[in-house]
Amino acid sequence: MATKRKMTMGIIVGNRGFFPDHLAKTGREEMIQALQKAGMDAVVLDPQQSKHGAVETYEEAKTCAALFKSKAEAIDGVIVTLPNFGDERAIADSLRLSRLNVPVLVQATPDEAEKMTITHRRDSFCGKMSACNNLRQYGIPYSLTTLHTEAPNSLEFAKDVEWFAAVCRVVKGFRNLRIGALGARPTAFNTVRYSEKLLEASGISVETLDLSEVLGRISRLKDSDDAVLQKLQAIRRYVLTSGIPEAALLKMAKLGTVVDHWMKSAHVDISAVQCWTSLEENLGVVPCTVMSMMSDSLLSSACEVDVCGVLGMHALQLASEAPSALLDWNNNYGGDPNKAVCFHCSNLPKHFFNEVKMDFQEIIAGSVGKENTFGTCVGRVKAGAMSFARFSTDDVNGKMRGYTGSGRFTDDPLQTFGGAGVVEIPALQKLLQYTCENGFEHHVAANFSTVGSAVHEAASKYLGWDMYAHQA
């Protein structure tokens, strides 16, 4: 998997003159230390630029905004810290003038019951309400900590910073995102239709490539091409290939080479690929392993040209910094209303399995022949925490929408083919009712994590999408 990127947070330290301003000094230091402990860099005024490196006046807000503008490319989000009541106008002005357009987290440091005299009283409990009120007046979206007041060095705030970082990664990762759509939507899958224009309105572009061009480029590649041989070696390193014909492996290597080159040249971040059943009939393999390898490398790839499906994969991957898969809500699991079987043929990333091997695609083999369907990644999905997400273009109402939630993959017994696992989700029947009543697709993105709430926050609050957060 790819190396995790170090994040950078802007810090606005609130201060208000008739409150003890020594708290602004120590509060700034405590917040910097908290971010350093979280492995993050900080962009914040220093005491030479403003009183205690805080913002209280309009001039200090302008200075803070200028600093943020100079570091705009690096800043992923902004944390407003209130070690005392803080000046709500200066906080809002700092954000408005900076024009950063990044997520904002508002934190207030709690008072101590034994330190309520004028020399140590914070009143940040109250000041947070004023700060939020002004941010709302200014039209600046913001997020809140779990508790109304949390100390920067507390466990609660450490968890909130981790959650907020996930929100920031999703928002930043979706801005100017380019999705590659390789091939046409399979005729039998009306369910994955989508609006490119609604995606474009959210700053997400779709770059298309006809499958005939992919097949043409493959036909021009020599078996001895260096890139093909390197991809062939990578496939063998990635998954057990015993019993797979050499000719099929070579076709997969050529397909992977063409896709890799096109994604780089087209500046595409993630992809959705036509499979059913053109590649099997015209190339003689399934693209599953090639797609699995991309997803495992954090370059999410969805089948059946499910562009909105790969968006869900990408959101979960950005939030968790771990690979995602696209699954079918496929079967009930006995009579347990909170369990279901999630399945695909499969192109699940290796990250999802305890053990995985390459095999043929049993469903398609019945119509195109076993010899044309080698390349699936077969195994049982391992047990662990699970987050899920689905996005969709609501073309009738002209908006983006989606749902998120959390559950877990279980180790319940399951005898089937492809890549499959049993999921347990509290109030699953409520979720299934919601998806059917609102006409959502049968595909859902899944990830070994607990980032559903972070994806929901990013999509609903900062992207402005119509979102449902599933809860028991």
pLDDT at residue 2 in the model: 61
The model's pLDDT over 236-285, given as tens digits with 9 standing for 90+, comes to 999 999 999 999 999 999 999 999 999 999 999 999 999 989 999 999 99
Can you list the pairs that 63-68 forms with residues at least 24 positions away whose Cβ atoms lie under 8 Å? 64/12, 64/94, 64/98, 65/93, 65/94, 65/95, 65/96, 65/97, 65/98, 65/99, 67/43, 68/10, 68/43, 68/94, 68/98, 68/100
The model's pLDDT over 394-414, given as tens digits with 9 standing for 90+, comes to 999 999 999 999 999 999 999
CATH fold for domain 8-174: Rossmann fold (3.40.50)
The model's pLDDT over 301-352, given as tens digits with 9 standing for 90+, comes to 999 999 999 999 999 999 999 999 999 999 999 999 999 999 999 999 999 9
Mean pLDDT, residues 66-76: 98
Q: In which element (H, E) is residue 177 found? A: none
The model's pLDDT over 140-192, given as tens digits with 9 standing for 90+, comes to 999 999 999 999 999 999 999 999 999 999 999 999 999 999 999 998 899 99
CB 365 within 8 A of CB 345: no
**Which residues face 422 on adjacent strands?**
341, 410
Model pTM? 0.97
**Confidence class for position 428, pLDDT limits 50, 70, 90:** very high
CATH number of the structural domain 178-469: 3.40.275.10
pLDDT at residue 133 in the model: 98
Where in the chain are the domains?
8-174, 178-469
In which residue are the tokens 């091939």 written? 183
**Confidence class for position 1, pLDDT limits 50, 70, 90:** low
CB 400 within 8 A of CB 456: no
Q: What percent of the chain has pLDDT over 70?
A: 99
The model's pLDDT over 350-368, given as tens digits with 9 standing for 90+, comes to 999 999 999 999 999 999 9
pLDDT at residue 3 in the model: 67
CA dihedral 445, 446, 452, 454 (to 10 degrees): -70
Sign of the C-alpha dihedral computed for residues 231, 237, 241 and 242 taken in this order:
positive
**Confidence class for position 435, pLDDT limits 50, 70, 90:** very high
Secondary structure of residue 131 in the 3-state scheme: helix
